[in-house]
Amino acid sequence: MKHQDLLAIEEKIVDAVNTASKSCREPEPVSNEIWTKEIKIELKELGTKYNLITWSSENIQEWLWDLCWADYKEEGRWHQGSYRTFKGIRMACEIEWNYGDKESNVELINDFLKLTVADVDYRVFIFAVHPDQKNADSIFDLLYSMCPPSKGHRYLSIGIYDVKKPNEHRAWTV
């Protein structure tokens, strides 16, 4: 798989995930639930900077994906009945910590496939890298192979290690 350079917003997403990762590793690694919460908080803050509403269990509620950024005509405001001002979803994100069976990666695939049908600008997939793996290349290749031929869909995947090792990321357009 040939990965592409990150777009400006993708760099900021990677930075937000790295910030959450750092706080979750030090002084000792924390539970997956806390990792998820910290990532969602960082991504919510980033979305807010772009006047986007974040839908996740850490904010309003989850809606279709673990986290998504919604765009409304009334910048940065959501209220009952705001479906009339809904412009679309800008980013959908799935987070999967269970690497399950190292050979099949069923849990990873199931979550990633949700992103392949999303009509959004950016698709972000965050996953745990199995401790026995030297790097996440095989997972990135697997995810890329799961992408249906599409109309320029953009993907950003971030592999997270539970040890003090830098996260890995790849971006591609299919």
Flag whether pLDDT at 152 surpasses 60.
yes
Q: Per-domain residue ranges for the chain?
A: 8-173
| Fold adopted by 8-173 | Restriction Endonuclease (3.40.91)
Tell me the average pLDDT across 123-148.
88
pTM above 0.75, yes or no: yes
Q: What are the C-alpha distances in Å from 172 to residues 6, 38, 83, 123?
A: 9, 25, 31, 10
Flag whether pLDDT at 100 surpasses 60.
no
What percent of the chain stands above pLDDT 90? 40
The string of DSSP codes covering 119-170 is -SSEEEEEEEPPTT-S-SHHHHHHHHHHPPP-SS-EEEEEEE-SSSS--EEE
Distance CA(51)–CA(36), nearest Å, equals: 22
User: Given the structure tokens 């990965």, which residue do they identify?
Assistant: 3
CB 91 within 8 A of CB 63: no
Quote the pLDDT of residue 45: 93
Distance CA(54)–CA(59), nearest Å, equals: 7
Beta bridge partners of 30: none
What are the pLDDT digits (tens) for 42-82? 999 999 899 888 888 776 767 789 999 988 766 555 555 56
Quote the pLDDT of residue 170: 94
User: Given the structure tokens 């599409």, which residue do they identify?
Assistant: 150
